[in-house]
Structure 1
Amino acid sequence: MNRTYALIAVCAMLGACALGPDGKPPAMPQPAHYGAQPQAELSVMAEGASQRFVTGATPVPEWWKLYRSDALNALVDEGLRASPNLAAADKGLVAAREQLRAQVGSSLLPRIDAGGQATRQRGLGIPEAGPPTVLYNLFVGQIQAQYTFDLFGAARYENASLAAQVDQQAFQLDAARRALAANIVTGAIGAAALHAQLDVTERLVALANDDAHDAERRYALGSASRADMLAAQQNAASLAASLPGLSAQWLATRHALAVLLGRTPDRAPDDLDLTGLTVPSDVPVVLPSELLRTRPDIQAADSALKAAAAQVGVATAQMFPSLSISASMGKGGFDWPTALSGAGALWSVGASLSQPIFHGGALRAQRRAAIATYDAAVEQYRQTVLAAFQNVANTLAALETDSEALAFADTASSKARDVSADAAARVRLGAIAPRAARGSEQQYLDARLSTIRASSARMSDTAALFQAMGSPVASAVRDAQQVSKAP
């Protein structure tokens, strides 16, 4: 008995030692700023507004409300509530939590089962001693218990690995939720911008048709050449040819937005008014050191790293002894009175200790495979962090160039509008021909198209930056901890 106690004590001390990596993420470089050039504090003024990049600020949970559009808020709320993809991911997370509860209960607690058996059998007898066959009944009822000591932490490592995988799913769900919100915002902005471009392009086509008809009349009167008439007709046809593609793009964007909202494409929402959206003035820029905790994709990679580290412990613990105990107690007999009496008592107690000796190198190979998987998870974590830095840097650079492009486009559009208004006034006074005013209006509409594209690009890239900043640290960590402690 003393030897048994000593063996159990030695196994417990060995089991307390770490058999795998600690699962801590590797140290990552902390850049002074995200891009190749430092980020300016204020963007270029465009359409009467500039954006301030608040370095060190925390992410905004419901950032889409900064666009100050009730219609946009309603679309995002509907999508987060009715999206089948989010619902499926949420149910998958619930299933993963229940699987974790099941594994923890089955691996760390004793297993107790109750069973009963009632049979009637025909057995061969000994002819010299009795009848050639024997008919008899057998009644057995018992309770069985079994427990395996987790001496080296194989079960605990396995549970830790599964808990980390559940955390990973939770962070992936958070990333999917934020991606859905960003896709709805950019989809609604894109649909509104395409609608505005369609309206402008239709007006351009109408003006080009007027020019073509005017050229035809002037050619008939001999005041214009045939080349001038053909050029005007070709210009009108080219502009009209751009309408079907633009319309198809607009409808495809509306259909995609409807599906994001959980609707059928025929129930696509009405387009927003692009001029009714306000570009957010303050945009948070999380510090690179904090981005490691706010980005759900980085947190998911961290959880995958912890799961892989725990699997190394599992593979190592499987190379050490395993101790199990079992016991059963019940009643049995060839008839009910005997089975229920004291004479029918049945019981058993046993223990088993097994030590792997030779498995054809399988256990060592499995441990080497687990270590290689862990090393791969470390590198994947590094790549995820670098990709996150790149994502933020590209989005910040895009926002800066968007503001510059919008400023130039807005200036050009403003000047072209003034020229068009001046030409229209001169036409009314009879100073110039109407076709000159149409040319000025066409130049203004071309500039207006550039302004619409630049304005929608700035709003969409702003949404992309809000998404790139991730979730507030407190809520993300709290969700993950709740998942880990769910059992």
Structure 2
Amino acid sequence: MTIDFVPLLRRVRPWGLALLGLTLAACALGPDGSPPEAPRPARYGAQPLAAQTAAAGGVAQRFEVGARPVPEWWKAYGSPALDALVAEGLANSPDLAAADRRLSAAREQLKAQIGGNLLPSVDAGAEASRGRRLALPTTPSPTALYNLFVGQLQAQYTFDLFGAARYANASLAARVDRQVFQLDAARRALAANIVTGAIDAAVLRAQIEATERLVALAAQDARETQRRHELGAVAQGDALEARRSAAALAASLPGLRAQWQATRHALAVLLGRTPDQAPEDLDISQLATPAQLPVVVPSELLAARPDIQAADAALKAAAANVGVATAQMYPSLSLSATMGKGGFDWSRALSGAGDIWTVGASLSMPLFHGGALRAQRRAALADYDAAVDDYRQTVLAAFRNVADSLARLEQDADALAAADTAREAAGRAFADARRRVELGAVPPSAARAREQQYLDAQVQALARAGARLSDTAALFQAMGSME
């Protein structure tokens, strides 16, 4: 509950400020920072979630609703080479190292702020000087030379009557917590990017090999069609069409190679390497498809996702800032004390006659600041309301992220199953055509046509298999962590 003490302060008498301070110390000057009530949907997506996906590639992925997130989920792919890449990236990424150092700096700043505004300050000072002053008319000497020696300790403490310092510390602590959660999110995102980058590079490499064979077959067809045209067996249009088809296919290969190289370069940078030190491609056929996929229930996703936890920390920081802005509208009480020695020579300065000390108290109360303090409080309240909206949006985006990942996996399985069926049929047709060529029943061009169909199906199946593996990584990441 937020209490507006501004009208009350206008009516209170000066002698009642101390009593008001004690009263306000027990009350909150700003929101408590609790997150708003989050939606609790019965399921993530618009359609009910199936118990498992269709069987594709020999694996039907099962959704384990209510399971906990898997911390090192990339190990579910069963590839030691992939595990090594992730470990290297987490250990050597400059982005993670920089974020970790910024977090360390923020923690030290928090310690400094707490020590500076909750504990008294004590300083030591010393002064030694020689001067000359004008003599008085009654003194015989026209000028007077003197030495001054002073040594003292100064102490000061400001009472946190209305919690301004405590709110400021709470705000900074919440911002440090936010950096902790953002660092966790960055680690998980880096791991997912390494996994998907390695998968994409492996798929592209396999697709390039299949496409190179397609280009070779198309070029062979174009040469044979040209010879048949020269013999008068086919029309010139057929020869030109075969040549065009071979050239178009060859034109697609450089773009595919450039995409593969760019993927490898990006993966190298994720690992903390230079692009020329890109890792060797994984064998896509050696990557296992994780069969068990955890699906955290929506009510527990709020605690599992680091982005939601970061939004919660930002909300708490904004609530504390409201307290700071409100506390600045009330009086401030400070105590100061000075103790030391002083004199015009060392003997007097060190004697009892050289003792110097002061004790004082100061009370300040804002009366007129041109509306600045009230405007600052309204700005803090607006920032808090925005943080509430940001939290709600982060929760909704997290639910959508999970829903999209689940939907893609279901569709990936269906697409891969169809692509595998097409590849199997094309492979059998190619094998049959090759046997018939060996028997002399059909010309070699028939076998090349079937092989081209098989390779086309192979390229499509590779793309579908890669998408399924990458979307599996996206789901693992979407589930967050409960370490």
TM over 0.5: yes
Residue matched to 1:56: 66
The 5 Å alignment of 1:158-169 reads 158-169=168-179
Asked whether 1:134 is paired with 2:144, we answer: yes
The 5 Å alignment of 1:9-28 reads 10-28=20-38
Q: 1:406 Cα deviation (Å)?
A: 0.3
Amino acid across the alignment from 1:442:
Q
Q: Deviations over 1:359-408 (max 9, x none)?
A: 11111111111001100100011111111111111111111111110000
Structure-1 separation of matches of 2:380 and 2:254: 56
Q: Deviations over 1:240-261 (max 9, x none)?
A: 0001100000000000000000
Q: Name which of structure 1's ranges 387-396 and 178-187 shifts more when overlaid on structure 2.
A: 387-396
Q: 1:42 Cα deviation (Å)?
A: 0.4
Residue matched to 2:9: none
User: Of residues 41, 44, 53 in structure 1, which corresponds to 2:51?
Assistant: 41
Residue matched to 1:426: 436
Q: 1:4 Cα deviation (Å)?
A: 12
Check conservation: 1:338, 1:344, Cα contact below 8 A: yes
User: Of residues 210, 224, 240 in structure 2, which corresponds to 1:214?
Assistant: 224
Asked whether 1:343 is paired with 2:364, we answer: no
Q: 1:125 Cα deviation (Å)?
A: 2.3
User: Of residues 191, 194, 199 in structure 1, which corresponds to 2:201?
Assistant: 191
Check conservation: 1:82, 1:262, Cα contact below 8 A: yes
Residue matched to 1:396: 406
Asked whether 1:260 is paired with 2:287, we answer: no
The 5 Å alignment of 1:242-257 reads 242-257=252-267
Q: Deviations over 1:219-264 (max 9, x none)?
A: 1222122111111111110110001100000000000000000000
Structure-2 separation of matches of 1:250 and 1:202: 14
Q: 1:133 Cα deviation (Å)?
A: 2.5
Asked whether 1:450 is paired with 2:460, we answer: yes
Q: 1:123 Cα deviation (Å)?
A: 2.1
Q: 1:128 Cα deviation (Å)?
A: 4.1
Asked whether 1:145 is paired with 2:155, we answer: yes
Give the TM-score taking structure 2 as reference length.
0.96
Amino acid across the alignment from 1:89:
A
Amino acid across the alignment from 1:155:
A
Structure-1 separation of matches of 2:142 and 2:305: 80
Structure-1 separation of matches of 2:164 and 2:17: 18
Amino acid across the alignment from 1:11:
G
Residue matched to 1:294: 304
Amino acid across the alignment from 1:429:
L
Structure-2 separation of matches of 1:258 and 1:131: 85
Residue matched to 2:92: 82
Q: Deviations over 1:407-440 (max 9, x none)?
A: 0000000010000011011111111100000000
Asked whether 1:239 is paired with 2:249, we answer: yes
Amino acid across the alignment from 1:47:
G
Amino acid across the alignment from 1:111:
S
Check conservation: 1:43, 1:51, Cα contact below 8 A: yes
Q: Deviations over 1:66-115 (max 9, x none)?
A: 00000000000000000000000000000000000000011111101111
Structure-2 separation of matches of 1:432 and 1:170: 68
Amino acid across the alignment from 1:281:
A
Residue matched to 1:463: 473
Q: 1:7 Cα deviation (Å)?
A: 5.7
Amino acid across the alignment from 2:196:
T
Amino acid across the alignment from 1:362:
A
Check conservation: 1:149, 1:324, Cα contact below 8 A: yes
Structure-1 separation of matches of 2:369 and 2:248: 75
User: Of residues 168, 171, 191 in structure 1, which corresponds to 2:181?
Assistant: 171
Secondary structure of the 1:97 match is helix
Residue matched to 1:318: 328
Residue matched to 1:485: none
Check conservation: 1:16, 1:152, Cα contact below 8 A: no
Amino acid across the alignment from 1:324:
S
Asked whether 1:225 is paired with 2:247, we answer: no
Structure-1 separation of matches of 2:105 and 2:113: 12
Q: Deviations over 1:9-64 (max 9, x none)?
A: 54223212111001000001111111110111100100110100111111110000
Secondary structure of the 1:364 match is helix
Asked whether 1:109 is paired with 2:119, we answer: yes
User: Of residues 388, 397, 408 in structure 2, which corresponds to 1:378?
Assistant: 388
User: Of residues 282, 291, 309 in structure 2, which corresponds to 1:281?
Assistant: 291
Structure-1 separation of matches of 2:462 and 2:140: 105
> Sequence identity of aligned pairs in percent?
68
Structure-2 separation of matches of 1:70 and 1:37: 36
Secondary structure of the 1:123 match is strand
Q: Where does structure 1 lack aligned partners over 5 or more consecutive residues?
A: 476-487
Q: Deviations over 1:324-364 (max 9, x none)?
A: 10111110111111111111001111111111111111111
Q: Deviations over 1:276-305 (max 9, x none)?
A: 000110111111111111111110000000
Structure-2 separation of matches of 1:128 and 1:139: 27
Check conservation: 1:169, 1:300, Cα contact below 8 A: yes
Structure-1 separation of matches of 2:116 and 2:126: 22
Secondary structure of the 2:59 match is coil
Structure-1 separation of matches of 2:328 and 2:421: 72
Amino acid across the alignment from 1:220:
E
Residue matched to 1:479: none
Q: 1:8 Cα deviation (Å)?
A: 4.2
User: Of residues 135, 138, 148 in structure 2, which corresponds to 1:125?
Assistant: 135
CA RMSD of aligned residues (A): 1.4
Residue matched to 1:408: 418
Q: Deviations over 1:144-195 (max 9, x none)?
A: 1100110110000000000000000000000000000000000000000000
Secondary structure of the 1:23 match is coil
Give the TM-score taking structure 1 as reference length.
0.95
Residue matched to 1:30: 40
Q: Where does structure 2 lack aligned partners over 5 or more consecutive residues?
A: 1-12
Amino acid across the alignment from 2:465:
S
